Amino acid sequence: MTHAPNSPEARDVAHHLHGYTNAVRHEEIGPLVIDRGEGIYVHDIHGKRYIEAMAGLWSVGVGFSEPRLVEAATKQMRQLPFYHTFGHKSQGPVIDLAGELISLAPVPMSKVFFTNSGSEANDTVMKLLRYRANAMGEPKRKKFISRIRAYHGVTLASASLTGLPANHRSFDLPIDGVLHTSSPHFWREGRPGETEEAFATRCAEDLEAMILAEGPETICAMFGEPVMGAGGVVVPPATYWEKIQAVLQKYGILLVADEVICGFGRTGNFWGSQTYGMKPNVLTCSKQLSSSYLPISALMIDESVYRPIAEESGRIGTLGHGFTAGGHPVAAAVALENIAIIRERGLVDNARVVGAHMQKRLRELSGHPLVGEVRGVGLVAAVELVVDKAAKTALDPVGKLGGMVANFLQEEGVISRAMGESIAFCPPMIITEAQVDDMVGTFAKALDRAAASLDLLVG
């Protein structure tokens, strides 16, 4: 595609290396340049409006251009535009936000540590738990368990926790000491005649076998998203987290809940941990913490994690970890106002009620020749595409069909995301049932276009 010289698209191609993008392909087609947004919609620089069905990146909970968040940032910028939290220093917004998060935690938590992204939060957890293991005289307890198809970030350590090939290939990842147990995707991994409960038992048995093979005394913690996000919105099968936690407790292994996508109402409860009965020792959050208006993330640790870390910092003289912008006062002020909006406007309830409508409407597409599975909870869902329903297979190479449908969908006015063959839906939590109907109706048109192009459309 040829862009006018000095156009935003041409300048982007000339100067900008994009994440999660085929750089060679980007040189050919250039970017979709977004200019503004309001509510659930964004507009490109040519004036075309789109439903942002991914809330940006699973993250703009209260919608785009919320005046209260703009005002919160402006007010704090005028008062104290920056200060750090090193060396016994603090400031009002970070103190208030730490207290707010502790009060909202799904299980009793002791302290909050602030970072700037979900990747940094999970990376920090790994560092802190290694520090804790040394403090407790357990120097061998340094291994971490994640899951195939998990997504926990992109730093060297957090990308190692991530269980997706694209995050490992050519990066020489994962690093040593990071293990991946079974994916809990029942539709894909369940055996013929196996119930969800039996599949969950098998996943727990796989986990226990891995722990025993490695040596329980070497395993520090298991990381888990309540619902897997970027791995394809994989909803855990019935009894899954109950059985997984029983194994972890049996061997004294900590549970880290990655709530970066699920937190702040997305699943219909404030935390995904509440939706699935998880009782984590550590919880990480980001994205909807500030609706991504500014970068901020946090991790919460319980007393059993905090106390050894605190005592080790006393022995050494400091906790030698932190980020310049961790707990940034402007980001913290925006996060506080964002949480207030979520509570005042009943957006957790909206995610549950309107989310049920979205799940129903998407499931009405199950008979379409390209739809293999519809899965999700609350206001997060995925539709997995196939060309052969019985074999559960799509086109070659993997991602070709998903990319085709996502492109058609964008042309029709809805921005989504293809994760392999799965099309994700995670709209702002302010979305209405009528807007869901518009979004799903447009998706149906995109499916029909793809099916017609493949000569699969019937009737």
Spatial strand order of the sheet with 178-181 comes to 111-115, 297-301, 282-285, 254-258, 219-224, 143-147, 178-181
Residue 24, domain member (yes or no): no
Q: What pLDDT is recorded for position 457?
A: 56
Quote the tokens at residue 446. 């995109």
Spatial CA neighbour of 258 closest among 240, 281, 291, 239: 281
Task: Assess whether 194 and 277 both reside in one domain.
Answer: yes
Q: What pLDDT is recorded for position 435?
A: 98
Spatial CA neighbour of 287 closest among 80, 122, 93, 72: 122
Residue 230, domain member (yes or no): yes
> Angle 172-174-176 (CA atoms, 0-180°, nearest 5)?
105
Q: How many domains does the chain have?
A: 2
Last residue of a domain, one of 344, 361, 393: 344
Residue 437, domain member (yes or no): yes
End-to-end C-alpha distance for the chain, whole angstroms? 35
Task: Assess whether 172 and 272 both reside in one domain.
Answer: yes
> How many residues would you count in the chain?
459
Quote the tokens at residue 251. 């061997």
Instruction: Say how far apart CA 374 and CA 233 lie, in whole Å.
Output: 10
> Angle 4-8-9 (CA atoms, 0-180°, nearest 5)?
65
Residues 6+ apart with CB under 8 A from 310: none
Could you give the C-alpha distances from 33 to 9, 37, 57, 173, 225, in angstroms and in order?
A: 7, 12, 16, 32, 31
Q: Do strands 371-377 and 380-385 pair parallel, antiparallel, or not at all (unpaired)?
A: antiparallel
Q: What tens-digit pLDDT sequence spans the chain (459 residues)?
A: 778 889 999 999 999 999 999 999 999 999 999 999 999 999 999 999 999 999 999 999 999 999 999 999 999 999 999 999 999 999 999 999 999 999 999 999 999 999 999 999 999 999 999 999 999 999 999 999 999 999 999 999 999 999 999 999 999 999 999 999 999 999 999 999 999 999 999 999 999 999 999 999 999 999 999 999 999 999 999 999 999 999 999 999 999 999 999 999 999 999 999 999 999 999 999 999 999 999 999 999 999 999 999 999 999 999 999 999 999 999 999 999 999 999 999 999 999 999 999 999 999 999 999 999 999 999 999 999 999 999 999 999 999 999 999 999 999 999 999 999 999 999 999 999 999 999 999 999 999 999 999 986 544
Q: What pLDDT is recorded for position 4?
A: 86
Task: Assess whether 187 and 109 both reside in one domain.
Answer: yes
Question: pTM of whole model > 0.85?
Answer: yes
Residue 20, domain member (yes or no): no
Quote the tokens at residue 155. 């730093």
Residue 6, domain member (yes or no): no
Residue type, 89: K
Among the residues of 44-89, which ranges form H helices?
A: 67-79
Task: Assess whether 361 and 339 both reside in one domain.
Answer: no
Quote the tokens at residue 381. 């869902």
Quote the tokens at residue 120. 């940094």
Task: Assess whether 390 and 409 both reside in one domain.
Answer: yes
Task: Assess whether 187 and 101 both reside in one domain.
Answer: yes
Chain center to CA of 114: 17
38 Rama sector, left if φ>0, alpha if ψ -120 to 50, beta otherwise = beta
> Angle 105-107-113 (CA atoms, 0-180°, nearest 5)?
50
Task: Assess whether 415 and 354 both reside in one domain.
Answer: yes
Task: Assess whether 136 and 58 both reside in one domain.
Answer: no
Centre a 10 Å sphere on the Cβ of residue 448 and count the other Cβ atoms it contains.
16
Quote the tokens at residue 274. 């509440």
Q: Is the dihedral of CA 261, 263, 264, 269 positive or negative?
A: positive
Range of the domain at 116: 69-344
Instruction: Say how far apart CA 71 and CA 332 lie, in whole Å.
Output: 13
Spatial CA neighbour of 347 closest among 453, 428, 451: 428
Task: Assess whether 256 and 319 both reside in one domain.
Answer: yes
Task: Assess whether 85 and 164 both reside in one domain.
Answer: yes
CB burial readout 76-111, b (16+ within 10 A) else e? beeeeeeebbeeeeebebbeebbebbeebbbeebeb
Last residue of a domain, one of 344, 364, 397: 344
Q: What pLDDT is recorded for position 455?
A: 83
Residue 193, domain member (yes or no): yes
Last residue of a domain, one of 344, 379, 409: 344
CATH label of the domain that carries residue 270: 3.40.640.10
Q: What pLDDT is recorded for position 459?
A: 43
Among the residues of 58-172, which ranges form H helices?
A: 67-79, 92-104, 118-135, 156-161
Residue 107, domain member (yes or no): yes
Task: Assess whether 98 and 179 both reside in one domain.
Answer: yes
Q: Do strands 297-301 and 219-224 pair parallel, antiparallel, or not at all (unpaired)?
A: unpaired
Task: Assess whether 104 and 214 both reside in one domain.
Answer: yes
Instruction: Say how far apart CA 232 and CA 230 lie, in whole Å.
Output: 5
Block residue for tokens 């016994």? 88
Instruction: Say how far apart CA 185 and CA 231 lie, in whole Å.
Output: 10
Q: Are 365 and 444 contacting, i.e. CB atoms less than 8 angstroms apart? A: yes
Q: Do strands 143-147 and 49-52 pair parallel, antiparallel, or not at all (unpaired)?
A: unpaired
